[in-house]
Amino acid sequence: MAKNYKTIQLDPKYIPKKTEKYMSEEQKAYFYALLAAQRNAVVASMNDGMSDLSSSINIDSMDGPNNEGDDASNTQQADIQMKILDRDKNLLVRIDNALKRLEEGTFGYSVISGEEIGLKRMLVQPLATMTIDEKEEHDKKDF
């Protein structure tokens, strides 16, 4: 029976090595576990943020008349929380896209050229979708 990266139990000390076949089932299992943990953390953060935002809105509406300073502070806190939630939502989309690429077998390969992104880069930036050279060229175009 072929190995499936979703069911492989890795040694907790396992770290992918350059000497292994690039994006072997073990390496995929490592990144799958890493991305799943990141996803769970982001979802938990979003749930906490939504709860905090909801609580502050409910508390504000129950407090009765507030002074302008309280209103400004509450609005600022809500704006900050909304920005954090938006950032988390964008991160969740990137993680889900990486998990989809893992499923499709394209994780670790450039979305532009199809070349290997490289293990070193993937270990540092598991959400990378381009090689270093492609990313630098892309960033130059943005400026």
* pTM of the complete model: 0.82
What gap in Å lies between CA 32 and CA 55, rounded to an integer? 34
pLDDT digit string, tens, across residues 45-63: 999 888 777 766 655 555 5
pLDDT digit string, tens, across residues 118-141: 999 999 999 999 999 999 999 998
Residue 53's identity, in one-letter code, is L
Whether the Cβ atoms of residue 46 and residue 86 lie closer than 8 Å to each other: no
Which of 9, 5, 2 lies closest to 108, judged by CA?
5
Mean pLDDT score across all residues of the chain: 88
pLDDT digit string, tens, across residues 77-99: 788 888 999 999 999 999 999 99
